[in-house]
Amino acid sequence: MVKSTSKDAQDLFHSLHSAYTATPTNLKIIDLYVCFAVFTALIQQVAYMALVGSFPFNSFLSGVLSCIGTAVLAVCLRIQVNKENKEFKDLAPERAFADFVLCNLVLHLVIINFLG
Amino acid sequence: MVIKYESVIHEFDPYFNYRVTQFLSKNGIYEFWNWFDDRTWYPLGRVIGGTVYPGLTLTAGTIWWGLNSLNIPLSVETVCVFTAPVFSAFASWATYLLTKEVKGSGAGLAAAALLAMVPSYISRSVAGSYDNEAVAIFALIFTFYLYIKTLNTGSLFYATLNALAYFYMVCSWGGYTFIINLIPMHVLLCIVTGRYSPRLYIAYAPLVVLGTLLAALVPVVGFNAVLTSEHFASFLVFIIIHVVALVYYIKGILSPKMFKVAVTLVVSIGMVVCFIVVAILVALVASSPTGGWSGRSLSLLDPTYASKYIPIIASVSEHQPPTWPSYFMDINVLAFLVPAGIIACFSPLSDASSFVVLYIVMSVYFSGVMVRLMLVLAPAACIMSGIALSQAFDVFTGSIKYQLGASSNSTDDAEDNTSTNNAPKDDVSAGKTDKGEEIVKERSSKKGKKKEREPADKPSVKAKIKKKALVLPLEASIVALLLLIMLGAFYVIHCVWAAAEAYSAPSIVLTSQSRDGLHVFDDFRESYAWLSHNTDVDDKVASWWDYGYQTTAMANRTVIVDNNTWNNTHIATVGTAMSSPEKAAWEIFNSLDVKYVLVVFGGLIGYPSDDINKFLWMVRIGGGVFPHIKEADYLRDGQYRIDSEATPTMLNSLMYKLSYYRFVETDGKGYDRVRRTEIGKKHFKLTHFEEVFTSHHWMVRLYKLKPPRNRIRGKAKKLKSKTSSGLSSKSAKKNPWV
C-alpha cells in the first residue's frame, strides 16, 4: 500500500513537472514573481515576527499585505494573459498589463501611506 | 421639510456631524484629524479624529470648499442640510447601474424609480437629516455595483474601483461590515454551487487585500480591520478561494488519473494540518470574553444579547426589532413584489442575480433584528421589485403586441414566433413562474424576429419538435397592465404621504394640529438659546445623553455625556445621579463640576419622549454599574409610577423632583398628560437645586446647583435647621443647605 502510494506520488510529480514545463515562458516569469512575493511575505511574517515581534504593528501589517497584494495582482495578471483561458480571449494583453500597473500603483500608494 | 419648517438640521446625531463639519471648514483638515474635543464627556473629552466616521463630514466639507472656491457663497449649514438629498439622487443612479448589470436597463430604470421614493430611505435622506447613512447608502450600492461589474467583466480596473468605493464606505458608516461579510458569503456560495471562475478570483482577491489595507487606514477602524471577528470571514474565504483556484489549475494541467492521486495525497496531509490550525484558532478566539466580536455585532447575531448584557444598546429606540406594520409603512407594495423578483432572478441564474438574492435574504434577516437596518433592506427590495416589475411589463406588453400583431399579420410571422419560442404548454393562471418563463420566451422571440426573417422554412421543422408557445390573451394583459400601473400609483401616493407627514419632522421643532390652528413648539431652541446667552462659556451642563449633541452644537456648552455613548460608566454615573435623592445627586454632580442640569418634561403638553419615560433606562444603566441602585425600589407592581401609588424612592429621585417642581401651579392638580394621572407628591421645595429656566410649554427645565454654604451651622441651631418642608424622607441629620 505504501509502495503504491509512493509510486503514485512519484508519477504525480513527474506529470506535474512535465505539464508545467509546457507552459509558455511569460507565464513562468509571472509565476516566479508570485513565488518571490509569497516568499518575502513568509520571511516577514514568520521569521521576523519570531525574532523581533510585530511592533510597530502598522508597518508589519503594511509589509505583509503589500507582499500578498502584489502576489494576488500578479496571479490576476496571469489569469488574464493566459492564452488557454477562454473567457479572456478578447482582452488584449496590453490592457491587462495596464490594469495590473494601475492596481499596483493604488496598492503601493496605500502601503506607503500606512507604513508610518 | 424645508418648506414647512425652514432649513434646519433634524434629530440629534446630525447636530454632532454639523458641529464637526463646522470645525473642519474653519480649521482645515490637519486640525480635524488631530482634534481632541473637550466640550463633551467632561472630564474625559473625546478624540474626534479617532472615533468618528469621517466620510460624511469630509464629503460635505469638500463640497463646501469646492463651492466656495468657485465663489458660490453657501453657508456650511446649507451644505449640510442639502447633502442628503443630493446623495440620494446619486444612490438612485447607482441602483440603476446595479440593476442594469443584473437584469438589463428596463429593470434598472424601474428599480431606480422605486428607490427614489421608498419611505425607508427618505426617512434618512430628507433635507436636514445630516447623518452617516445619507452618503453610506450611496456608497453601499455603488460598491455592490462595482463588484458585480467586476464579476461580469473580469477586469482588474473595476476591481480597483471596487476597492476604492469600499474605502469610501468604510469611511462613512459602521455598516461596512455588512459588505465585507456579504461578499465573502457570495463567493463561497458561488464556489459551492460550482460557479467558480477566474473572474470570481479577480473580483474577490484584490478586494480583500486592498480593502483591508484601506479599511485599516481609517482611524476609527484601524487595526480592527484584521483583529476583530467581523473581518475573519473575508480572510477565511480568501484562503478558500486560493485553495480552489489551485485545485482548478492543477486539474487543468493533469490527467484525471493523476489528479485523483493528487487529491488523496493532499487531503490526507491537509486534514492533519487543518485540524491543528483550526484547533489553535478556536482556542484563541474562545479565550477572549466575547469571542472577538464587538457588542453591536453580537447583538445583531443574537437579538436577545443586548437586553441581557448591554442596556445602553438595548435602550436606543432605533435598535429595537421592527413591528410588522413598520415593514409595510417603510417599503409598502415592494413587500409583495420582492418574492416575484426573487423568482425572476432564478430564471436565468447568473452570478449577479445570485448575489442580489443573497443580499436581500441577508438584509431581511438583519432588518428583522434592528429597525435601523430597514435602511439596508430598502435598496435590495427596490432592486428586486424593479426586476419583477420590468419582467411583468415585458410579458404584458409583449403579449399585447403579439396579439395585435397576430390579428393583422400573416401566419408566417406567427410561426416564426411560435417556433423560436421554447415554452411549455400552460393555462392562463398568471402565476409568477409564467412571468419568469415568458421573459425567456419574449427575449428570444425578439432576437428571433431580428435574426430569422429569412429562414421561414427551417423554423417550421422546429415547430413540430418544440411545444406550443404561450401568450396571455389580450384582455388579461391589458387588465393586468392597468392593475400594475394602479399599484405603482398607490405606491407613489403612500410614499409622498409618508415623506410629508411621518418623516419630515425635525424633532427639534414640534408641531401639532388643534382646533385653533397649528401650534409650534420651539422649546428646545428657546432653551438652548437661553443657555448660550445666560451662562458662562465654561459652565458644564448635565442632561441625559440624548441631548448631548444638540447642547454642544446649539448652546455651545460643555456636556457630560452625549449621543456617542462610548463610555457606559460615565452614562451610568449620570443615570445614578438622576435616580438618587437630592443630596446624593448634588454630590455626584459637584464632583463632575456640573453647574446646570437640563431636564426634558412633556407632561404639560403631552410630549411622550421626555425624561420621565426614559427614566427606566437611567435606572437600569445606572444599576448596571452602581449596585446600590436597584430597579425594584422604583417599581410598584412591576411598573414605574409617578402618582400617589409610587414608591418613596421614586418620589424622592432627582428626576421626579426636577420634572414636577411647581407643576401643580399650572393647573392646580398636577395632571400629567403623558402618564395620564395626577402626580404623587405635589408640593415640595428643592434644597440643593434652584430653578433658573423653564421654557414656554414647560418642555425643557434648567436647574442650577446651589453652592454649598460657607459655614455649617453649629449644634445650637440644629433644631431650627429642620425646616425642609415636604421632604419627608430626609434623614434626621442636620441639613446644612437650607
The chain-wide mean pLDDT, for chain B, equals: 74
Residue A72 sits at φ, ψ, to 5 deg, of: -60, -45
pLDDT band at B146 (very low <50, low <70, confident <90, very high): very high
pLDDT of res. B514: 61
- Segment B438-457 shows an average pLDDT of 36
B519-705: CATH number? 3.40.50.12610
Q: Is the pLDDT of residue B454 over 60?
A: no
Using a CB-CB cut-off of 8 Å, the residues of chain A touching B154 are 80, 87-88, 91
Other CB atoms within 10 A of residue B456 CB: 13
Three-state DSSP at B665 gives helix
Q: Which residues of B touch A23 (CB under 8 A)?
A: 253
Q: Kindly identify which residue of chain A lies nearest to residue B219, measuring between CA atoms.
A: A114
Cell of B271: 486534514
Name the minimum distance, in Å, from the CA of B211 to any CA of chain A: 10
Residue B466 pLDDT grade (very low, low, confident, very high; cuts 50, 70, 90) = very low
Q: Does A11 contact chain B (CB < 8 Å)?
A: yes
* pLDDT at residue number A47: 78
Say whether A79 and B156 touch across the interface (CB within 8 A). Answer: no
Chain-chain contact of B265 with A106 (C-beta, under 8 angstroms): no
Domain ranges of chain A: 25-114
Three-class secondary structure assignment of B207-263: HHHHHHHHHHHCCCCCCHHHHCHHHHHHHHHHHHHHHHHHHHHHHHHCCHHHHHHHH
DSSP assignment of B712-725 equals: ---GGGTTTT---T
Instruction: Please tell me whether the interface predicted TM-score (ipTM) of this complex is above 0.90.
Output: no
Distance CA B334, CA B363 (A): 14
Taking CA atoms, A90 is separated from A86, A101, A104, in Å, by 9, 19, 23
> Do B213 and A111 count as a contact with CB atoms less than 8 A apart?
yes
Q: B398 in helix, strand or coil?
A: helix
Q: Cell 447583538, residue?
A: B299
State how far the Cα of B682 lies from the Cα of B668, in Å rounded to an integer.
9
Give yes or no for residue B378 having a pLDDT over 50.
yes
Phi first, then psi: give them for residue B667, nearest 5 degrees: -130, 10
Instruction: Supply B190's cell numbers.
Output: 458561488
Whether residue B140 contacts residue B148, with contact meaning beta carbons closer than 8 Å, is answered with no
One DSSP character per residue, B46-90 reads: EEHHHHS-THHHHHHHHHHHHHHHTT----HHHHHHHHHHHHHHH
Q: Give the integer Cα–Cα distance in Å for B678 and B150.
A: 65
* Residue B540 phi, psi (nearest 5): -100, 140
Full-model pTM: 0.76
Proportion of chain B above pLDDT 70, given as a percent = 76
How confident is the model at residue B445, as a pLDDT?
36
pLDDT at position B142, please?
92
Quick one: pLDDT at residue B719?
Answer: 46
Domains of chain B by residue range: 519-705
Give the least confident one: A72-81, B205-214, B283-292: B283-292
pLDDT, one tens digit per residue, over B702-727 is: 888 888 776 666 554 544 444 444 44
- Can you give the three-state secondary structure of B108-146, one letter per residue? HHHHHHHHHHCHHHHHHHCCCCCCCHHHHHHHHHHHHHH
Residue B290: pLDDT band by 50, 70, 90 thresholds? low
Q: Which of A20-29, B211-220, B228-237 has the highest mean pLDDT?
A: B211-220
Residue % of chain B over a pLDDT of 90: 1
For residue B48, pLDDT over 80 is answered with no
Is omega for the bond preceding B43 within 30 degrees of 0, making it cis? Answer: yes
CB-CB neighbors (< 8 A) of B214 in chain A: 110
pLDDT average, residue stretch B137-163: 88
**Half-sphere CA count of B395, side-chain side, radius 13 A:** 29
- Is there a contact between A76 and B159 if contact means CB atoms under 8 Å apart? yes
